[in-house]
A and B are shown apart, each in its own frame.
Chain A
Amino acid sequence: MLLFRSEEDIDRWCSATGEPRGEAVPLRQVWQLAQAWYGNRMHPDFRGRSALEAGAVFASVGLTSEFWRVS
């Protein structure tokens, strides 16, 4: 997941590299996602995350499009 200035830059990058064109998420929303996803990663009781739980994390930060469907 790379950082870009704009959707146009992403389009150019994907055309030039053959990278699949996915979804662009604003950095501020990614910070919310990072906190929800990684906040407990070093807790002694962390035991991974199911796909269902991953979907709940995405939804909790507003990532609810088809792209973020987990199965």
Chain B
Amino acid sequence: MSMSAGTATPVGAPRRGWVLPVAMLALGLLIGLSGIVGQIALYWDDIVYLSQEHVVLVASSGGAAILVGVPVGILLSRPSMQRVAETVMQIFNIGTTIPTLAVLALSMTLLGIGFAPAFFGLFVASLLPIVRNTYAGLLAVPGHYKEAAHGMGMTPVQILTRVELPNALYVIFSGIRTALAINVGTTPLAFLIGGGGLGALIFTGIDLMDTGMLLAGAIPTAALAVLVDFLMGQAQLRLIPRGVNPLR
């Protein structure tokens, strides 16, 4: 439906202004008329409960990944770690190639089922992009900033906090954004190892061929992913100083 509305636009007319609302409206009408809204509404209590579980999983594993990943990235970027750092990053890079579902499965073999293996699997999956971007972002800060800071009498900690981190912040934030996108996208799989979350509705819906149930899980998951990305985008826009922020 949305396509026909789009193709009817005269060439050269401003499209973006109204196509999207109209398409949304058409989609909404379609869904409303097919009675799916009613079916989804049946699962409202489940949606609320499972969304909470889902958000707790995302926030705890993502938060832990940030709290661990950034300091590890900083540590690896220190000149004294130069020799070890490349090896560690190689291992991390290999780790990134393992599919997240496999990470969760491996986590289950270690920690059994429930919240703990789900948390751990998601934590590991989100850790890699954060460490990698923090490390790469700090190494990419041009040497002459560090030299100037050093020559002006900043201590190593001052150089890190006042010069290196602010200048690497955009890259670090991009890593966190990627990590959280992976995290939110992988969290529904946590259901498979007993971690709970909106995956319960999705997978059960698939198994029962119940479209309403499936959508009751899929739509909030999608909305959450969009919301998290939006919030990260806003944070990236507003928290990074103007002088080093390509978005401003």
Chain A bound to chain B: no
Chain B interface residues (CB < 8 Å from chain A): none
